[in-house]
Chain A
């Protein structure tokens, strides 16, 4: 039996766009030994998932393998019949997808789906034996109540638990290889660390090899023995994890590391100045009697950035809805320059509306696809400032230059012809066009690749310095907080649990929830996961 489990040689995959076939994977080589974990890293569009599925001899509709070979334990997957390939899938090569909620069949119980491969499809064991093993796997993955959780339906189980159940399902046949496709990307950080640790222990226990696909370098550092970096369907480099972290060879790899180096100096809030925005004891609710925000208070000063941090459901976006007037508060006040803002949007004056602007997370839905850049950026300037004709044209061009896009190239384009980062810049220009004092940035970098995200952060910082803007930065990403914030507000379940200047926030002692949040953020150090889990078990 050879030591090598999987060999991919010069693999080329194409995807259909209209009538044409475009390359997605442009000749990638990959080798994996038994029991080894390979981390596959790359930005969106790198072809990571396509490559992962190809390792199972599987292509999605609209893609095809146009060259190369995939050898699994001596079997050429690409020349095998579909029937023979099916006999391998689930049994010897298994797959764990990003969204467990979408990948579990809503019509069957978890245990039925877990035992399906060993008991019904590949007939390796009887149903009751398979159920017994499934329960052991649930226990190994540290699911609560392993004896009975399998008898629930997918919608009755939380996201983090579902992700672990899917790992159990993949492990049911004790496969030689598991493909993990971004298994923790959709989870909150405090859930992610639990799932990561459960997956890693279970993988080590059954001794399976794995390909771990992710865009998060710190995550892959915990999971992989070796790391391979992909860029637009080409491989950049591959090294042992520690060697790669210590000394990436290629320019592109180094740039991935460099992202996290951007930080701004913290500036203390000015003494005795009226804050641009003051939120005082705000309580808000969607359903009367069940508040989603309770007694939220914080100040934002001119030229300063306040980061509002929390996991999903913490109320950070709801706070933005109250400030913009979309969700009028039931108690408390929101003051702009010392003047109380009317709670309801229709009651606010045009000037009050102008002063508060917003930049959205998803640039795709933030820009009207049927309006040109000229219209998108020009409208606020025309609407608030009454600019027309040449003055308007000059204003739009000036704004495009401010966001580092060439006016002649971009002014007449539609958003569809722009990249993600460029779209986000247009979103910023639209906010600036109103000449506001205060901008809410709602997860503005979380949909972007790291390099692009950093460019956006630098731009926002520069604009803030030039225009004395006050920012409220809503984010779940503590790296972003470290990079840009002056002051941090931590929210949990609709309440502010702690707030302090950045330097204080990142040095102990912390509020217990802040502590949990901070310690859950993966670090580049490959020993981080072990260390953190050990510390938690002790404490």
Chain B
């Protein structure tokens, strides 16, 4: 790995890295940072900004700032868990399909084709209506949906490597599956996979927040950015921007990740030619 001179990093990427770090720290140290408890009712409904409550209170009289801070932990944590599951399973299956080929590849690919032929949000709604809305169920459903996308990408990039002569050389040597995947293929597809992880996280994060906004995702009283927008949405019609704060947090984080990923992809393609 070559050292990256700070000067060559674009401003957008630096901005992105700083924001991601700030959100991560907020999530980790939520209980130290938040002035009040996550579900604690501390005042009247819809109190204005300032005074005891920096960002006012919500529809039940809970401190908005504290809920935003806990929301960082819950929303990001759940999305991260979902993405990790989708990624580990999807990438593993994609690699297997690429390396083994034959009927295993055919079966997995056709199944994924079928899954992708159903629009994701609609699919999630159907499953949620059947299994009900709980956090483990949410994580499971969204990760199953996303792993099909990860599978496609992992399979495609692994396919590019599988046809390389050095993989053939390893096969001819008699190397086993584990060696082929772990030593010959994985190191060569890490860059696109890491970038994809960032993008997938954004999709998952937006999908879960959309479901929460619809009231079908993370359920009260858990502080979560998507459902916080929903709970306080009526304030917007009075010209109050407080309900938009959690949505702005979501936007800020996904924009930042996209900036960083964009820079990584640009760098990877720039190094190639």
Complex contact A366–B166 (CB within 8 A): yes
Complex contact A324–B172 (CB within 8 A): yes
A residues less than 8 Å from B171 (CB atoms): 326, 345
Complex contact A362–B165 (CB within 8 A): yes
A residues less than 8 Å from B169 (CB atoms): 358, 360, 366, 430
A residues less than 8 Å from B188 (CB atoms): 368-370
Complex contact A360–B172 (CB within 8 A): no
CA distance A360 to B174 in the complex (A): 17
Complex contact B172–A380 (CB within 8 A): no
**Contact flags B1-30 to A (C-beta < 8 A → 1, else 0):** 000000010000000000000000000000
Complex contact A383–B172 (CB within 8 A): no
The answer to whether B234 has its CB under 8 Å from any CB of chain A is: no
What's the minimum C-beta distance from B105 to chain A, rounded to whole angstroms?
17
Select B172's contact among A345, A367, A379, beta carbons within 8 Å: A345
Tell me the A8-28 residues at the B interface (CB within 8 Å): 18-19
Shortest Cβ distance from B5 into A: residue = A19
Shortest Cβ distance from A376 into B: residue = B166
Select A368's contact among B173, B174, B184, B270, beta carbons within 8 Å: B184
What's the minimum C-beta distance from A349 to chain B, rounded to whole angstroms?
9
Complex contact B172–A350 (CB within 8 A): no
Tell me the A458-500 residues at the B interface (CB within 8 Å): none
Complex contact A360–B165 (CB within 8 A): yes
Shortest Cβ distance from A367 into B: residue = B166
The answer to whether B183 has its CB under 8 Å from any CB of chain A is: yes
CA distance A19 to B270 in the complex (A): 11
Q: Known: A365-B165, A365-B166. Contact between A350 and B174, CB under 8 A?
A: yes
The answer to whether B52 has its CB under 8 Å from any CB of chain A is: no
The answer to whether A79 has its CB under 8 Å from any CB of chain B is: no
The answer to whether B164 has its CB under 8 Å from any CB of chain A is: yes
CA distance A365 to B167 in the complex (A): 9
B residues less than 8 Å from A365 (CB atoms): 164-166
What's the minimum C-beta distance from B36 to chain A, rounded to whole angstroms?
50
CA distance A325 to B171 in the complex (A): 10
B residues less than 8 Å from A380 (CB atoms): 173
Complex contact A371–B183 (CB within 8 A): yes
CA distance A501 to B183 in the complex (A): 43
Complex contact B187–A370 (CB within 8 A): yes
Shortest Cβ distance from B171 into A: residue = A345
Complex contact B174–A19 (CB within 8 A): no
The answer to whether A353 has its CB under 8 Å from any CB of chain B is: yes
The answer to whether B175 has its CB under 8 Å from any CB of chain A is: yes
Shortest Cβ distance from B189 into A: residue = A370
What's the minimum C-beta distance from B173 to chain A, rounded to whole angstroms?
6
A residues less than 8 Å from B183 (CB atoms): 368, 371
**Contact flags A293-325 to B (C-beta < 8 A → 1, else 0):** 000000000000000000000000000000011
Complex contact A383–B175 (CB within 8 A): yes
Shortest Cβ distance from B168 into A: residue = A326
CA distance A268 to B171 in the complex (A): 34
B residues less than 8 Å from A384 (CB atoms): 173
A residues less than 8 Å from B8 (CB atoms): 19
Select A353's contact among B165, B168, B174, B270, beta carbons within 8 Å: B174
B residues less than 8 Å from A348 (CB atoms): 174
Select A358's contact among B164, B172, B175, B187, beta carbons within 8 Å: B172
CA distance A18 to B273 in the complex (A): 9
Complex contact B172–A366 (CB within 8 A): no
CA distance A412 to B173 in the complex (A): 22
Select B166's contact among A325, A357, A368, beta carbons within 8 Å: A368
Complex contact B270–A366 (CB within 8 A): no
What's the minimum C-beta distance from B159 to chain A, rounded to whole angstroms?
14
With a 10 A CB-CB cut-off, give which of A326, A353, A368, A384 has the most chain B CB atoms.
Answer: A368
B residues less than 8 Å from A350 (CB atoms): 174
Shortest Cβ distance from A350 into B: residue = B174
Select B173's contact among A369, A371, A379, beta carbons within 8 Å: A379
Closest 3 CB pairs of A and B: A370-B187, A366-B165, A360-B165
CB within 8 Å of A: which residues of B?
Answer: 8, 164-166, 168-169, 171-175, 183-184, 187-188, 270
| Apart from the given pairs A368-B164, A379-B173, 10 other A-B contacts in the complex at a CB distance below 8 Å | A326-B171, A358-B169, A362-B165, A366-B164, A367-B166, A369-B188, A370-B188, A371-B187, A383-B175, A430-B169
20 pairs across A/B with beta carbons < 8 Å?
A18-B270, A345-B171, A348-B174, A353-B172, A353-B174, A356-B172, A357-B172, A358-B168, A360-B165, A365-B164, A365-B166, A366-B164, A366-B169, A368-B184, A368-B187, A368-B188, A370-B187, A383-B173, A383-B174, A383-B175
